[in-house]
Each structure stands twice: as C-alpha cells, then as structure tokens.
Amino acid sequence: MDNFNFPSPRNLLIWGGAALGLFLLYSWRAQIIPALTPFLFALLLAYLLSPFVEALEKRKVPRTLAIVIIYSVFIAALVLAGVYGIPAIVNEVNGLIKQLPALTQQVQELLAAAEEQFNHFNLPPTINETLENNLLKLQGYLDSLLNAIPQFILDLFGRIVAVILIPILSFYMLKDVELIKQGLLNLAPGGQRGRLIALFSRIDEKLGAWIRGQLTVGFIVGFLVFIGLEIIGMDFAVVLGILVGVTNIIPYFGPIIGAIPALFLGLLRSPLMFVKVLIVQVVAQQLESNLITPQVLGRQLGLHPLLIIFSLLLGAQFAGIAGLLFAVPVTAVIREVIAFWREQV
C-alpha cells in the first residue's frame, strides 16, 4: 500500500470529465446523432477531396478556386455516374420491390418445408415446440426485413436535405480548415498551442490516410462483387455490389452484413445460385484481406482487433449504422489524444 500512488486532482478531473461527457452523449444520443451525422459525412468527403485540393494549391492555384475546380470535377463524375448508373439502380430497386410479395411467399414456403422436415424426426415435444417457436420468430424477422426495404428507400430519399447539406458543409471545411484549426487553438492556453498543432497534425495524417484508404477498398470490393454477380447471372448485381462496397467500410462485421442479402436472395433463387454467390463473396473478401487492404491501407491506425471490435459494438449501441461507420475513426482519434497526452505528462 505504501507504493500506491493516488491519481492527481488534474487526472481525476480529466477522467471524470470524460466519463461525464460519455454519459451525457449516451443520454442525449437520440437528439445529437441526427444533427451530427451530416457533419461526419461532410468530414469524410473533405478528407477524400483534400489531397486533390492541396495538389492544386502546390501549383499556385488559390485554395477557393482549387476547391471549386475539384468540386466541378467531382460533380461532373457524379452526374456521369448518375446518368449511366442511377437508371440501372432504380430499375433494380423497382424490380426488387415488385418481387417482394413473391420473395415473402418463398420464405414462408421454405420455413414450412423446414418445419415439416423437423416433424419427421420424431423429436421430443419440448424440442419440437422450441423449434416451431424459433421458426415462427425467424419468419417474422425475415418478413420484417423484406417489408422494411421499401420503407428504407423512401426514408433515404426523404433525407435528401441532409444529402444536399453534406457537400456544402464539406466545402466550408475545406475552405476554412485553417480558420477552424486556429479557432480550436485559441481555446487552449498559449503555452499548449504548439503541442495541439503537433496533435492535430498527427491525427490528420493517420485519419486522412485511413479514411481515403477505406473508401478506396470499399469501392474496389464493391466493384469486384458486382462483376462477380454479373458473371454468375445473379439478379440485382448493381444494388448488391453497392451494398457490399458501403458496408465493407465497417471492419470485420461489414463484409458479413453486406454478404447476407446477396446470399439470402441467391438461396431463394436456387441452392446452386447460393453456392455461386457464396464463392463470389469469399473470393472478393479473400482478395480484399490478403491483397487489396495490405496494399492500400497497410496498418494505418495500429489498433488492436479487440479494440476495433469493442468500438464497433459500442458504436452500434450508440448510433446504429452510423455508429458502425464512424466507430473506428473516432476510436483512433481518442487513442491518439490519449497517447499524445501520456507522452506530454
């Protein structure tokens, strides 16, 4: 007991403030997350476009003009993608919605067949009852999933204001990045500003590289899955490829989340199609984990897998899908802040 050192009042205040902040964030998450989400997506876009803006700045192009040029190229690329891609996506979504009643009927028939097979095994009544209850619950979950797809699409289009707001917020983040940094520095005591600049630089370097790398990996994997599904003749290849690309941004759980809808639809079509879709997903993910990610990302964040999984579970609890998307970068920032703080103590 003689060697035990009590935390200093300063450290107690810091950890107490952090704990209080987490408690308040969790208590008010329903109000905070919807308002915060557009800013987080705008930050992602700003990190994505920042290297191109800085490259033009090095060529003596004024920053605002550089942002306008990059935005013009970016919007032109989106328009071209929209002209050629959106009709295909809309057609696939419409086709999926039209097939929902038939898909629901197929799910019910599959579950009824499974229940009949279980009845042939002459299992004890208690086990039979448990299996029947679980099958009914599974049918309810699958029916809810299929019926939720149209509502999800309507909600997505209903949030068009937030989607429009993201590039506007990102424009100001890119344009006024130095003013934002200076504003944050002005909140700190004068003697600490040099340390804060070093911390900002450290976070910016790691986080920027990870965000750009993760988006690149997601795009490549989504494209590979789309090509694979097209080759095997799977329906809705465009939508399923986009879904895999987006969810692939989430470490560990993302590839599984993105693969489930494709596997489920493949199973409803035929067992052979299920196997083909499974092979496409496995090949794409093997390429991603063994070739694409090491080349694009390496070990940018240096986070332990257990810490990543914990942060993903915590992010999902706090903010659902948005929490899954932003859990790892937020954890990386917190880790850098703590590591930097410990180095300075």
Dist. CA 216–CA 12, nearest whole Å: 41
Contacts 24+ apart (CB under 8 A), 256-264: 258/225, 259/285, 262/225, 262/229, 262/234
Which residues in the chain show pLDDT less than 50? 1
pLDDT of residue 298: 53
pTM of the model as a whole: 0.68
Model confidence pLDDT, tens digit, residues 119-149: 666 656 666 666 666 666 666 666 665 555 5
Q: If you write DSSP's letter for every residue of 162-196 in order, what string do you get?
A: HHHHHHHHHHHHHHTHHHHHHHHHHTS-GGGHHHH
Given CA atoms 200, 322, 315, 215 in this order, what sign does their dihedral have?
A: negative
The mean of the pLDDT values for the chain is 76
Model confidence pLDDT, tens digit, residues 11-58: 667 667 767 777 777 677 777 777 777 888 888 888 888 888 888 988
pLDDT of residue 227: 94
